[in-house]
Amino acid sequence: MGEDEKKANAVKINSLMAAVAISRDVTAFEELYKYFSPRVRSYMMRLTRGDRVLAEELTQETMMKVWKKAGLFDPAKAQASTWIFTIARNQRIDAMRRTDRPEFDAHDPAFVPDETEAADAGIEKRQDAQQLHRAMLSLKEKYVEVLRMSFFDGMTHPVIAEKLNLPLGTVKSRIRLACEKLRLALQDELK
């Protein structure tokens, strides 16, 4: 199709749209329908990834919306084809919004409240905490300090080194030695 034919076709389509918009001309809409419905259907086939039923349904909805909303078409803002394909795209988006929402499942693990902790598990945690506390009391203060800063305060090794004005290697050594001494102290307590 040459450039002159395209312009003539656009003028014809715009005049058909104007006839539908102004006087609700059924014959003009039939011509628009014959021209655009195969094009819109092809577009919908691409958008729905080959779902013929959905593509046909969306095509019909699009063309019905063109008929109902023809009075809103403004040829100064866009070509009729641009306006119609914008309606088609919006119809597809609306259809996706209607169908892509899963049903609410009250048994979904995300919505099930956490179980309460068993009494024996709570007692074991408290006993473990007490054992750890007693084991830490057996450590020298320099080891307790780096453990507290690292594991309880969540500080990084470089931050601990800066706060204590120690070399980074010393901080890492103290943490490693403190963990080893704690392990040994906990083993002795369990015997």
Alpha carbons 175 and 157: distance in angstroms, whole number? 9
Please give the model's pTM, rounded to 2 decimal places.
0.49
CATH fold label, 132-190: Arc Repressor Mutant, subunit A (1.10.10)
91 near 62, Cβ under 8 Å?
yes
Q: In b/e form, how buried is each residue of 39-73, taking b as 16+ CB within 10 angstroms?
A: ebbebbbebbeeeeebbeebbebbbeebeeebeeb
Q: What are phi and psi of 140, to 5 degrees?
A: -70, 155
Alpha carbons 65 and 58: distance in angstroms, whole number? 10
Q: Which helix (H) or strand (E) holds 106?
A: none
Which numeric CATH code is attached to 3-99? 1.10.1740.10
163 near 128, Cβ under 8 Å?
no
Alpha carbons 10 and 16: distance in angstroms, whole number? 10
Q: Residue ranges of the domains in the chain?
A: 3-99, 132-190
One pLDDT digit (tens) per residue for the chain, 191 residues? 677 787 777 778 777 887 888 888 888 888 888 888 898 899 888 888 888 888 899 889 998 998 888 888 887 888 888 888 899 999 888 888 877 666 767 777 767 776 777 778 778 888 888 888 888 888 888 888 988 888 888 889 999 999 989 998 998 998 899 889 888 888 877 66
Residue 161 tokens read as 């080194």
